Amino acid sequence: MERVKIASSKLELGDRVFINSDVILHNYGGIVLEDDVAIAPGALLTTARHEIGSADRRQGKLTTDPIRIGAGSWIGAGAVVLPGVTIGSGCVVGAGAEVTRDCAPNGLYLGVPARRVRELP
């Protein structure tokens, strides 16, 4: 079993947070995991992105935006959460989903890019 990889000290954990194996928290821009968040194996939460540079070097300037995962949410195996995203409380992000924008509370989000497929009680 591999360890969790945490890129910086900009991490805020609520109570009873569970982070499984092989998770990468690329948290240069800050990540907040509220109470009772669970993250399944192999998920990636990244707060950094690069602008597209000129033709001689496409990897341009690095920018960061924070990620916030609301209380009680569950991030599925291999899911990717991109910079600047807030996932509302009580959400489920399915395995392999790619979250590119904010998720309203109490929803099931699936796919690439992730979309809300149903309301959760």
Q: What is the mean pLDDT of residues 80-100?
A: 98
pLDDT in tens, 67-89: 999 999 999 999 999 999 999 99
Among all residues, which ones are annotated catalytic? 50
Residue 84 lies in a domain: no
Look at phi and psi of residue 15 and say left if phi exceeds 0, alpha if psi is from -120 to 50, else beta: beta
Query: CA-to-CA distance for 59 and 57, rounded, in angstroms?
Result: 6
Is 43 contained in some domain?
A: yes
* Average of per-residue pLDDT across 94-100: 98
Give the pair of three-digit tokens for residue 65.
Answer: 């935006």
Q: Is the pLDDT of residue 24 over 80?
A: yes
Which tokens go with 63? 């920018």
Read off the amino acid at residue 74.
W
35 falls within a domain: yes
Q: Is residue 66 part of a domain?
A: yes
4: in domain:
yes
Number of domains present in the structure of the chain: 1
Residue 71 lies in a domain: yes
Q: How confident is the model at residue 57 (pLDDT cuts 50, 70, 90)?
A: very high
Give the domain range for residue 25: 1-76
Q: What pLDDT shows up at residue 1? A: 54
Contact 50, 60 (CB under 8 A): yes
Query: Is 99 inside any structural domain?
Result: no
Quick check: is 102 in a domain? no
Average pLDDT over all residues of the chain: 96
